[in-house]
Structure 1
Amino acid sequence: MLKQQLNLKLSQKLSPQQIQLMKLIQLPTQAFEQRVKQELEDNPALDSGKEDQDSFDDEFKNEEVESDSEIIETESEIDVDEYLSDDEIPDYRTQANNYSKDDDEKTIPYASGVSFSQYLKTQLQSFRLSEEEKQIAEFLVGSVDESGYIRRETIEIVDDLAFTQNIYTDEQTVEKIFQIVHKLDPAGVGARSLQESLLIQLKRKTPTQSTALSIAIIEEAFEQFSKRHYQKLLSKFSISEDELRDVIDEVSHLNPKPGGSYAGNNRIVEHVVPDFTIKIKDGELQLSLNGRNAPTMHVSREYSNMLKGYKETDKKTKKQKDAVMFIKQKLDAAKWFIEAIRQRQETLFVTMNAIMHHQYEYFMTGDERDLKPMILKDIADKIGMDVSTVSRVANSKYVDTPYGTKLIKEFFSESMTNSEGEEVSTLEIKKILQITIEKEDKKKPLTDEKLAKILKDKGYPIARRTVAKYREQLDIPVARLRKEI
């Protein structure tokens, strides 16, 4: 049985303007500049630079509209809310308000130059190769990844050559071409493992007693060497600690990613532009917002004059009425965008100011151990805004401090209670952990269990697994891999 009934329901929806404001807030300085540039291109009623703004009147008295010499309707029927309603959002407003991160334009250019693959193929011209050998060599070069490795089995390459290149060969021939690829620069390129890459680089060096011993150790005991089982190496090769120390020094100067130095040249070049600056002047902190976040903009005088001219016309056609509605739509959008920029500036400054005062001791000293526990809610409560707003400000913004340029979100951390009952930041504990490891005896590095005991003695009672977690976050290897001789 079908039945109709009315239901009343309260719901909260973000307006297109609010959504777009949130998008503006999360943009860092460079992306914001591009967004403003795009808005200026899309909306002819918006101008940059300083100029007196002429307001326009949305109220029109009963004025006649003429079409084909005939009065058809009165201007008083123009409803401003109609073209601003959610049901009839013009294309301009939709493009500005509804886009995902995937739709953002990437305006930072790629670095120019020859690609890594092309650079390797050019070197192949110096070798005498048959047509088939040349095709196999180019296929191998095309399989080199950004790190400089070919991470595939020989039999797989043989199969791919048959299926994709219509080249029928065998593993012996491919291995022969591999030896040619291994002669290309940079040394170690085309290797199928780290061990092979290191051996290629060592064999390119001028033969010495140290390189010969290095080659022998990498060939015969690579696993023991990589795991730093130095006593086993000393016994197996009957060498002194000084000789082993020379080998470690020799290998440590090799490049584990031979393609990285060249392939990286074709990646997007990123430049960090600080959104804020904090300075210490006369013993006090001074915060400033990057001036590029505060562009001077105004409503186009020309568009305002067009609307005024229309108002002063005695009789208006239907076509003129459509034109004035378009003008009013663009003027309204321009005025809102200018207001959104102002709100963005205010939100950024208020949020960063609260962060600066919360971390006052750190900004005065630069010592990371002075960082206080701080979560998004702490700042949101101080400035009376939502946590999501603070997150947008902190996530992709940088601040220039007397101690370097810092990512703002790095100032946020959880808290824990020390042995004296005080709330301390986990960042403080990580810093102490890092300093402790730096000062350890590298011949007998501290295990996670010993580190946990040392931290406990210093007043930070944390478990061994927590030490392991913090150590991994600091990108510090386990004790065995920190061992030196």
Structure 2
Amino acid sequence: MKGSLKLSLTQKLQQRLSPLQMRFVRLLEMNGPEIEDEVRREVDDNPALEVVNDSAVEGQEGVFNESAEDLQLADYRNEDEIPSYRFEANNRSKNDEYFEPVAVAEENSLSDSLMAQLAETDVSPFDLQIARYIIGNLDDNGYLTRTLDQILDDLAINAGIEVDMDHLRELVKRVRSLDPPGICAYDLRDCLALQLRRLSPTGPRKLALEIVEHYFDIFSLRHFDRLASMLGVGKEELREAVDIIRSLNPKPGGQLGDSAGDEKLRHIIPDFTVELDGDKLTLILVNNLPELTIEESFVSDGAQFLSDSSPRALQEAKAFIARKREDATEFIDLLRLRQETLYKVMSAIVRYQHDFFISDDEAKLRPMILKDIAEKTGYDLSVISRATAGKYVATPGGVYPLKFFFNEKVNNDEESSAHEILAAMREIINGEDPHNPLNDDALMQRLSEKGYELARRTVAKYRERLGIPVARLRKQI
């Protein structure tokens, strides 16, 4: 058989972003701190970019404002030659009180705290080495993540330490006796039992320990009537024991290890601020970006600075200046376009959700999707999505992510938003009888009475969205 050649013609439509569009998209997705870092990085990398000086600083050249101390320090070639006494200031009288600055040490980690407690006891170096390995197998909540058999094998294989099971159990018991109570537990039940054994042996405490050790499954299902019957106690006695269990810490390891650095990571810097004056709303784009311009020597082709250079060097210099000037102009234009886009998108959101910004009531949130804002701004849906991703707005009522304002209609024929129904559901659950909480069918009926016709599975979805457990787990004694 002979092969045959065939020529076919196909037509395909593709949409590709240019490098300039890709760069704009990347800038649009950045939040406040990220765009500030990007501007700082661009100014450092591109000599054609210049930060416009404040008017207060301009025109002060030639003004002499150095002190006598500054003049004396200028006599030295570098800071290493300056004597230490030059950096000391003595502007106090003899009656002044002098305070030494106190350095605040960071909070110890969980392992550091446990090892420090063990070091204060009469534990031998050999046992301390094994205890260190045990503590190293605790998770962030303080639970032991490996079985004793596994730890025994790990010690023999990885550390070359031979120890018998009885000795290992004794060291684990020693670690479990450390603070905070409940540390080195095998599971939640064991953690609660460890804490209960540290409390004074009162009647309610003994009952709480019996519940945790022998009836934990029934307690976790909140079958309180059955639990009281099996224990032979009244509701008041059971309530006291349950209150003690609820006061315990299920994650004892979480008490240590939170540093100031972690707190900073959780800090949110809003990108917008909405101020309320009566019924008037004022939108402010929080802008810590400096004003940028083209550096003076890059405005022209730079030939006046290279008159003595060879033709080739002059050509390369002109190409370099033109390329950097073009990059700088492009970045300034993209930055301005980013700010205009963000402001226009947020302005549309504020107009659309005007009632919420006036009242700060979630029930006043209108159903709103990306398409609604795209129609008001003329931008593509992808632009709206990127402009609102990771951005926050500060209002008199709090700080909200921009995605918070987008919520779909529950049904196509209703004007009720998801936030409105969530607020109504939260109100109903907050007012329910804690001894006989409402199940999803009862919630569906209550919402229907308020005018929200929902299916049972939708009610369950919204309840889970609020982080509210099922009725059985909300039941109190």
Question: How far off is 1:281 after superposition?
Answer: 1.6
Question: How far off is 1:352 after superposition?
Answer: 0.5
Q: Deviations over 1:306-356 (max 9, x none)?
A: 725258x38743123222212221121111111111111100000011111
Q: Distance in 2 between matches of 1:36 and 1:413?
A: 34
Higher relative contact order (CA 8 A, sep 6+): 1
Answer yes or no: is 1:454 the counterpart of 2:446: yes
Answer yes or no: is 1:248 the counterpart of 2:242: yes
Matched-pair contact (CA < 8 Å) for 1:355–1:379: yes
Match of 2:280 in 1: 284
Q: 1:346 to 1:308 in 2, by over 3 A?
A: farther
Match of 1:273 in 2: 269
**Which contiguous aligned blocks of 4+ residues in structure 1 show a shift greater than 4 angstroms?**
1-11
**Which TM-score applies when normalising by structure 1?**
0.81
Give the 3-state SS of the residue equivalent to 1:138 in structure 2.
helix
Match of 1:174 in 2: 168
Answer yes or no: is 1:335 the counterpart of 2:329: yes
Q: Distance in 2 between matches of 1:13 and 1:277?
A: 35
Unpaired runs of at least 5, structure 1:
53-110
Match of 2:81 in 1: none
Question: How far off is 1:4 after superposition?
Answer: 11
Q: Distance in 1 between matches of 2:195 and 2:371?
A: 53
Give the 3-state SS of the residue equivalent to 2:281 in structure 1.
strand
Question: How far off is 1:224 after superposition?
Answer: 1.3
Question: How far off is 1:366 after superposition?
Answer: 1.1
Q: Distance in 2 between matches of 1:221 and 1:5?
A: 76
Q: Deviations over 1:405-437 (max 9, x none)?
A: 11110111110239xx53211111111111111
Aligned-partner residue type, residue 272 of structure 1? I
Aligned-partner residue type, residue 470 of structure 1? Y
Unpaired runs of at least 5, structure 2:
56-104
The sequence identity of aligned pairs, in percent, is 39
Question: Which of 25, 40, 45 is the aligned partner of 1:42?
Answer: 45
Matched-pair contact (CA < 8 Å) for 2:303–2:318: no
Q: Distance in 2 between matches of 1:29 and 1:354?
A: 20
Match of 1:198 in 2: 192
Match of 2:84 in 1: none
Question: How far off is 1:113 after superposition?
Answer: 4.7
Question: How far off is 1:151 after superposition?
Answer: 2.5
Answer yes or no: is 1:475 the counterpart of 2:470: no
Aligned-partner residue type, residue 52 of structure 2? G
Matched-pair contact (CA < 8 Å) for 2:221–2:472: yes
Matched-pair contact (CA < 8 Å) for 2:369–2:406: yes
- Kindly report which structure 2 residues correspond to 1:396-407, keeping only aligned pairs within 5 A, or say none: 396-407=390-401
**Which TM-score applies when normalising by structure 2?**
0.83
Q: 1:11 to 1:222 in 2, by over 3 A?
A: closer
Q: Distance in 2 between matches of 1:25 and 1:242?
A: 60
Q: Distance in 1 between matches of 2:303 and 2:8?
A: 48
Match of 2:181 in 1: 187
Question: How far off is 1:7 after superposition?
Answer: 9.6
Answer yes or no: is 1:300 the counterpart of 2:295: yes
Q: Distance in 2 between matches of 1:229 and 1:152?
A: 32
Matched-pair contact (CA < 8 Å) for 2:47–2:324: yes
Q: Distance in 2 between matches of 1:461 and 1:5?
A: 56
Q: Distance in 2 between matches of 1:253 and 1:34?
A: 45
Answer yes or no: is 1:317 the counterpart of 2:320: no
Q: How many equivalent residue pairs?
A: 423
Q: 1:51 to 1:403 in 2, by over 3 A?
A: closer
Match of 1:12 in 2: 15
- Kindly report which structure 2 residues correspond to 1:120-199, keeping only aligned pairs within 5 A, or say none: 120-199=114-193
Match of 2:82 in 1: none
Give the 3-state SS of the residue equivalent to 1:417 in structure 2.
coil
Matched-pair contact (CA < 8 Å) for 1:310–1:324: no
Answer yes or no: is 1:436 the counterpart of 2:444: no
Matched-pair contact (CA < 8 Å) for 1:151–1:193: no
Q: 1:2 to 1:322 in 2, by over 3 A?
A: farther
Q: 1:350 to 1:128 in 2, by over 3 A?
A: same
Question: How far off is 1:170 after superposition?
Answer: 3.9
Match of 2:25 in 1: 22
Answer yes or no: is 1:235 the counterpart of 2:238: no
